[in-house]
Structures are given as structure tokens and as C-alpha cells.
Chains A and B, each alone.
Chain A
Amino acid sequence: MTRALPLALRRSLVFFWLLLLLLLALVLGVAMGAVSLPPGEVFQALLGLTENPIVTEMRLPRVLGGMLVGAALGVAGASFQGLFRNPLADPYLMGSAAGAAFAVTLLASLLGGLAPAFAQHAIFQSLPLPATLFGFLGALSATFLTLVLAGGAARTGELVLAGVVVGSVLTGATTYLMMQDADRVRAVFAYTLGNLAFMGWPSVKAMVLFFLLALPPLLLLGRVLNALQLGEEVARSMGLPLEGLKLLLLLAASLLVAAAVAQAGIIGFVGLITPHLLRRLLDEDYRLLLPASALGGAVLLTLADLLARTLTRPAELPVGVVTTLLGGPFFLYLMWRRRGRA
């Protein structure tokens, strides 16, 4: 249906819908939860007329924090896919998220011996900023390792294979570190399936800070990603200092991955699906695809978390289970439809 519309109109429509969905996700996310609150009460609490910490200290930061984590994963996924010219390159499949998780856990277990509280803190509270930077190094190292093992980014099969292996090895190492403490099996689940339960204002502030650092270069480099899609030779012939710009892209995307993992653990599929879905609507223009993926990732994760905390309320599901159960079949449906058309 949308295909019949002129490109510019279609693109404006996509952004209009994304913003509308984001608003809807925000409203639903704050209005609904384990505790039933009348809409009037929620509204009054938001305006500061009445005091209700469930709305102002728990739901609102959780929804906003979830949006920022989702946006980080979405935009990082789009950057990776553009940077490596590989439709399957996302933080999850490239081993980048697993690298960040491993580094954070390693730091927590190294320091945890001195102060057990830190280990808990690292996994279930807003992580101190230096630890996020440690995660950033982990994400970056894992990505480089994947690239080296795959012999570059060009060969799709090798890249995904190497990424999956690096990710599995690092997740195994993370699990091993966590299991050193007996009875931490549940903690492993919380970390490898994502947890937004304790997103508070400190988490939101941390995410905003990392967004301010990473998003401007990514959005400015959309043009470079566009050029890269034509091949490195073409991009170089346009006079772009390609190696430096590619490194900058990788650094910015890895920083977002690390920030997301540090706050919420590993959440799969958001970074893979969001850019894919939007690429079908926007075509291969990264100047639009990057901001759209940020919005799309935010919508996707907020709605997934809403389901995670209301489907079995007042119990919660791990948010990663919801993104995988919804995202997996949806992705397969997209593949199937594409095959049907080809």
C-alpha cells in the first residue's frame, strides 16, 4: 500500500507513524503496570498534583529508560548493518553485546571479591559510568575479534559465524564468572535475557549522557554509510577519509551497545529487526534509517517491556523472552514474504 506513494511522502508518513507509536508506547507504558491505577491518578501524579512514587519514580523512568535502551540497540544495529554492509550484523549477532556483558561481569567479579555489594550493583542497579566504559572496551574488542576471525566484514557467512562463536564463547565465560557465586543461576538469566525492572532516573541520566556522546556522530555519518553501500572504492573516490570515519562509526555504535547492556543486560533481536523493518519502508538511506531505527527500537522495546510486566502480572517475564518470542517469528515472516516475492 505504502509502496504506491511517492518516496518523500512515504518517508514522512513513516516518521509520523513512528512518533505516534512512540507517544502511544509512552502513554500505555506509564498508564499500565502490575498495579492498577486509575488514569486520573496517573495523570495527577505526572503533573505533580499528587505524590505517587509508582508513577514518578518507577514507571516513568522505566519507560523512558527502556526507550533509550531500545533506541540505542536500534541505532547501533542500523550502524553495524550499514558499516559492515551486512544485513545480519547487529550487536547481538556480532558478539558486541556479549563482549560488553563479559567485560562488565569481569569487572564486577574482580571488584566483587572486595565488595559483594558492587557485584549486585553492577547487575541490578544503574552502573557507575567507569564500568560502562569498561563494557565499551569489551564490546569493541569483541567486534574486532569477530572481524579478524571473519577475515573482514565482506563475507556475510563468515561474519555471522564468527560473531555467533565469539558471542557464545563470551556468554559462556560470563555465565562461568556468575556461577562462581553459588545460587546465581537466576542472576545469569536476568543478565542474559535482559532486565528493565530497576530502571530509575540515574539509569535514564546515564543513557542520555551516552546518547549525547554517540548519537551526533552517527547521525552526521549517515551520508558516509550511504556512500559505503556503493562499495569502499566508490566511497574512497568521493574523497572520504574512510578508515577514520569507519572507526568513529564503530566507536559510537559500540558505546551505545555498552550503555544499553550495562543498564539492562543483553536484549536480543531489537537491533536486528528494527533496521530491517524500516529499511523496507525507507529504502537504503542511512540519513533517515539511523534516526528511524532509534525511534523504532524505542517503540519496540517499550512495548515488549509493557507485555513483559503485564502479561503475567504481578509477576514479570524476562523482557528478552518477549523480544525473542515476538521478534523471531516476525523476522521469519519477513524472510518468508520476501522469498515469496522473489
Chain B
Amino acid sequence: MRRVISVLSVLLALAFAFPLTLTDDLGRTVTVKAPPKRIVTMLPSVTETVCALGACDRIVATDDYSDWPERVKALPKAGGLYNPNPEFIVSLKPDLVLVSKYGRLYETLERAGLTVYAVRTETYEDIFRTTRTLGKLLGLEAQAERLVAQIQREVYQEESRAAKATTRPRVYYEIDPTPYTVGPESFIGVLIQKARGVNVIPKELGLFPKIAPEFVVEKNPEVIVATYPGALETIRARPGWSRVKAVQTGRICVFTGGQDSLLSRPGPRVAQGLRLLVDCFHGR
């Protein structure tokens, strides 16, 4: 009897929830008539969140870079941010397409009559905001609240582990050898802070500045984190960098081959990314 009531109440809630009208991250008004059953996600972090909500089987295609959980690797791929394949997306007849707020893919898909919701996943807070929004869109609000609580609990565990450390190392984080780095207010910048590291980059430089190498040498970071292949050799070979403490003590953490996704995607696996940083800054 209780089960029947709970099923009924869910159905009732759904009946009232849909059609649902929301404002997406581009400020567009989007109406979803019924809980979507054929979803295309064009952002790896959104793919991860949809699956973490237990709706992986509703996804019919993803962008080229979505690779977690394992089962989405087998799904058809509809291109990336710079080279999306709108014709293919339309041919799949999805009832919801989740796209990045960057790029103009939504215009094309909208003209083709599809329901398109643009998402921004850039900051740490975006993880929870997006999870709740997707919960609403998919009719999985209770699951979304549970997922938010779970992610926050996992993050808290890592934060308390980091809090036990007695030192806060100076950190330089390199996302590309040009070199591009991360500012304190970027998603990775927030993770560095949560892992009890001190980013050597001032926040005035913005989210992803191209930094002057001599500035990094002057700041003399104790730990360097890099997320591209061959980073160790590249950084060690740079003129003048042999004097940097992190290079001298060998405290250069290189995360590639999937680990970098944990740090670059504001999604449900954020605590795993944070764990990498805590281990790197303070040891296991």
C-alpha cells in the first residue's frame, strides 16, 4: 500500500511538474512538455551528472569528449564545442538537447524544432546548481538533492583530510605549456584552495591567464601541478626553472589520461579531483 501511495505521489508530482518552464543559462525560456526520454548531452560534465542521477539510459548521444561512466563511451558521438554535428543530433529525434552556453549550436537546433537547454558549468557552485536544474528537467528532483548531498559529503571528507595538514604549500597549476595557468576564482582555483594550497597567481589576472614564466620563478612555488602529457620533462627543461623549489624537490604532479578530467570538469566526480590535489599537496 505504501509503495502504491509513493508511486502515485511521484506520478502526481510529475503531472504537476510538467509541462515545465525554466530559464536556461543563456537567459532563454525553455519549456519541457514531459520528462525527456531521448537526451543528447554536449558537455562531458553534464553527461556525468545525468548518469549520476541515474538517467544514463535516457542518453542517446553525447559530445566527443564524454567518456564517463564507461557505458557512455559506446554511445554515438555528435562532435565537440567547436565542431558539433547538428544534422546528426536532429536525426536522432531527441526530446532534449543539453548544450554548452558557448557556441551557437542552440540556434541551429532550435530552428530544427528541438528543445535545447544551454548550461554553464564553470564554477564550483555551478556543480550543484546544474545538478538541481537537471533534476528538475528530468523529473528527478529527489535524486538531485541526494546527489548534491553526496557530492558535498565527499568534498567535505577531502577538505577535512586537507585541514589536518600543518602546511599550506605555494602551488602553480599549469593547464598548457604556453604557459596558461588558472586564477584563484576558476573552478580549479577553488579546488586548490579547498585542498589547502595557495595559488601563486593573483585573482586580478582572471580565470585562465597566459602567465609570464619569470613571474612563476619569482613566486618560487613548492608544488607544481600540470595536466598535459610530457609536462615533467617540459617543465624541468625550461630556462631558469631549475631554481624553482618544486622542480628541485621533484614535487611536480602530472595528471593526464583521464585524471585531468576529474580536475577540469565541474561535475559529480569533483571530490575525486580534490583527492588528487590533497594527495599531491600533503601526501596520502
Which residues of A are interface residues toward B (Cβ below 8 A)?
Answer: 33-35, 53-54, 57-59, 61, 115-121, 123-125, 182-183, 185-187, 189-190, 195, 197-201, 309, 313-318
Task: Find residues 105-145 in chain B having any chain A CB closer than 8 Å to their own CB.
Answer: none
**How close is A55's CB to chain B, nearest CB, in angstroms?**
9
A44 to nearest B CB, angstroms? 17
Supposing A117-B233, A200-B239 touch, asked if A315 and B213 sit within 8 A by C-beta, the answer is no
Complex: how many Å from CA A124 to CA B64?
27
Sampled A-B contacts (21; CB under 8 Å): A33-B214, A35-B217, A53-B242, A54-B240, A58-B214, A115-B230, A116-B230, A120-B177, A120-B234, A125-B237, A186-B180, A195-B178, A197-B178, A197-B212, A198-B213, A200-B239, A309-B212, A314-B202, A315-B205, A315-B210, A317-B210
B residues near A58, Cβ cutoff 8 Å: 213-214, 217, 239-240
Instruction: Indicate the member of B175, B209, B240 with the most A CB atoms within 10 Å.
Output: B240
Min distance, Cβ A117 to any Cβ of chain B, angstroms? 3
Whether the Cβ atoms of B212 and A198 lie closer than 8 Å is no
Task: Report yes or no: B239 in contact with A201, Cβ–Cβ below 8 A.
Answer: yes
Interface size class, chain B: 20 to 34
In contact, B212 and A314 (Cβ under 8 angstroms): yes
Q: Please determine whether B178 and A189 come into contact, CB atoms closer than 8 angstroms.
A: yes
The answer, yes or no, to whether B176 is at the interface (CB within 8 Å) is: yes
Q: A54-B214, A197-B212 are in contact. Are A182 and B65 (CB under 8 A)?
A: yes
* Contact present for A34 and B177 (CB under 8 Å): no
Contact between B178 and A186, CB atoms less than 8 A apart: yes
Give the 10 A-B CB pairs with smallest separation, nearest first: A200-B239, A34-B212, A117-B230, A57-B240, A314-B215, A116-B229, A34-B215, A58-B240, A53-B240, A190-B178
CA distance A182 to B229 in the complex (A): 12
Q: Given A58-B239, A198-B239, A200-B239, answer yes or no on A120-B230 (Cβ-Cβ < 8 Å).
A: yes
The chain B residue with its CB closest to the CB of A61 is: B239
Q: How many angstroms from the CA of A309 to the CA of B180 in the assembled complex?
A: 14
Give chain B residues whose Cβ lies under 8 Å from the Cβ of A125. Answer: 234, 237-238
* Min CB gap A48→B, angstroms: 16
Verify A53–B217 contact, CB threshold 8 A: yes
In B165-213, the 8 Å CB interface with A consists of 175-180, 202, 205-206, 209-213
B228 at the interface (CB under 8 A from A): yes
Kindly state the separation between the CA atoms of A183 and B65 in the bound complex, as whole angstroms: 10
Contacts of A197 in B (CB 8 A): 178-179, 212-213
| Known contacts A120-B229, A198-B238, then 17 further A-B pairs from the complex at CB < 8 Å, ordered by chain A residue | A35-B215, A53-B242, A54-B217, A58-B240, A59-B214, A61-B239, A118-B230, A119-B229, A119-B230, A121-B237, A124-B234, A182-B65, A197-B179, A198-B239, A314-B211, A315-B209, A315-B211
- Residues on A with C-beta less than 8 A from B210 are 315-318
With A125-B234, A197-B212 already in contact, the answer to whether A187 and B176 are too (CB < 8 A) is yes
- Which residues of B are found within 8 Å of A121, using beta-carbon distances? 230, 233-234, 237
Give A329 Cβ to nearest chain B Cβ, in Å: 23
Q: Does B25 contact A (CB under 8 A)?
A: no
Find the B residue at minimum CB distance from A203.
B239
Chain A residues within 8 Å of B175, by CB: 186
List chain A residues, Cβ under 8 A from B233. Answer: 117, 120-121
Residue of A nearest to B228 (CB): A120
Contact A313 B180 (CB under 8 A): no
The reply to whether A316 and B212 contact each other, CB–CB distance below 8 Å, is yes
B243 interfacial contact with A, CB 8 Å: yes
- Asked whether any CB of chain A lies closer than 8 Å to the CB of B218, the reply is yes
Q: CB-CB contacts of B36-73 with A at 8 A, as 1s and 0s?
A: 00000000000000000000000000001100000000
